[in-house]
Amino acid sequence: MSEARILLEKFHATKTLSPVAVRLTQLISNEKSTIQEFEKVIKIDPTLVVRLLKLVNSPFFALRQEVDSISRAVVVVGTKNLRNMVVTAALKNVFAQTSPENVFSRARLWLHCAAVSICSQMISERIFGQKGEDAFLCSILHDIGMIVQDQVTRDRFVHTCSTYDPEAGPFIEHERAAMGTDHCEIGGLLAEEWNLPVDVVDGIRYHHDMEKETVPSSILGIIQVAHYLVSKLDYTAIPGMKATLPGGLTTYLRENINEYKLLAGDLPDELENARDLYETDE
């Protein structure tokens, strides 16, 4: 068994994700799931109901009328947006748990993931004119492997973060040498277990891969560009982590720099509009 799978087995044993969250990931992965099935499961967790209704009525969705039920929320925002809200709300507690602030902060990681997800959706919709729900989902989950490592082997992972030298090379190479695996592989395996779309799984698994030939409009291309942009704005997962891009995407970004400068300029306002999406209740 690979080191990534061993860590995942231990993660599952800790029951970090609530039964409600686990059941919802199963519904999310099944295209035949009905609104009634979502509503039935969500209602089991009153806190989740409150969070979802708060999100759907937030400035991020800018709805004209207040939504007061989960079934109505599904009709108004659509099943994929509901899926993303469910995942976001379910993950908040996991990311809110305490961790050593000086080397690895779950709160900092959560802000990083939120920034990448919002930027990814902006790129999908504004640059490529396509729906951005799957890009958002991929981005909000792209560093979930770090949570697995922090949860089941905290001392080792914190030591890995504390000994990381940005000048010595990419974090993922340091991580592999120290941990025997990396958060991308762990996250990809977890996404496969949840039966998420293949392009979402690939985006999670390869978002630090600088060798792949990546199409800019693909989910992987979008998340890599979004990751680069938000890191340049200091929304990094780990302090000092350097932003890099594959060669092809570097050329693409350079050729379209004016569009992306405008998008990056709007990102802080979009993050403010989405504050309810990523702020924890702690």
121 in the same domain as 106: yes
122 in the same domain as 139: yes
Q: How many domains does the chain have?
A: 2
Domain boundary among 47, 73, 96: 96
pLDDT digit string, tens, across residues 150-159: 999 999 999 9
Mean pLDDT of the chain: 86
Q: Cα angle at 16 between 87 and 12, to 5 degrees? A: 105
Domain boundary among 96, 125, 155: 96
DSSP for the chain reads --HHHHHHHHHHHTT-S-HHHHHHHHHHH-TT--HHHHHHHHTT-HHHHHHHHHHHTSTTT--SS---SHHHHHHHH-HHHHHHHHHHHHHHHHHHS---TTT--HHHHHHHHHHHHHHHHHIIIIIS-S--HHHHHHHHHTTHHHHHHHHHSHHHHHHHHHT--GGGS-HHHHHHHHHSS-HHHHHHHHHHHTT--HHHHHHHHHTT-SSS---TTSHHHHHHHHHHHHHHTT--SSTTPPP---HHHHHHHHHTHHHHHHHHHHHHHHHHHTHHHH----
Whether residue 4 is contained in a domain is answered as no
Whether residue 169 is contained in a domain is answered as yes
DSSP for 247-274 reads HHHHHHHHHTHHHHHHHHHHHHHHHHHT
Domain boundary among 96, 120, 150: 96
Dist CA 195 CA 200 (whole Å):
10
pTM for this prediction: 0.85
Whether residue 9 is contained in a domain is answered as no
215 in the same domain as 76: no
Highest-scoring range by mean pLDDT, 25-34, 71-80, 83-92, 261-270: 261-270
Whether residue 3 is contained in a domain is answered as no
Whether residue 23 is contained in a domain is answered as yes
pLDDT digit string, tens, across residues 9-23: 998 888 777 777 777
Highest-scoring range by mean pLDDT, 29-43, 50-64, 142-156, 232-246: 142-156
105 in the same domain as 54: no
247 in the same domain as 203: yes
Confidence of residue 262 (pLDDT cuts 50, 70, 90): very high
144 in the same domain as 117: yes
140 in the same domain as 85: no
85 in the same domain as 168: no
CATH number at 189 reads 1.10.3210.10
Whether residue 238 is contained in a domain is answered as yes
142 in the same domain as 112: yes
124 in the same domain as 241: yes
- Whether 223 shows a pLDDT value over 90: the answer reads yes
57 in the same domain as 159: no
The pLDDT of residue 142 is: 95
158 in the same domain as 42: no
Mean pLDDT across the stretch 78-97?
76
Domain membership of residue 64 as a residue range:
17-96
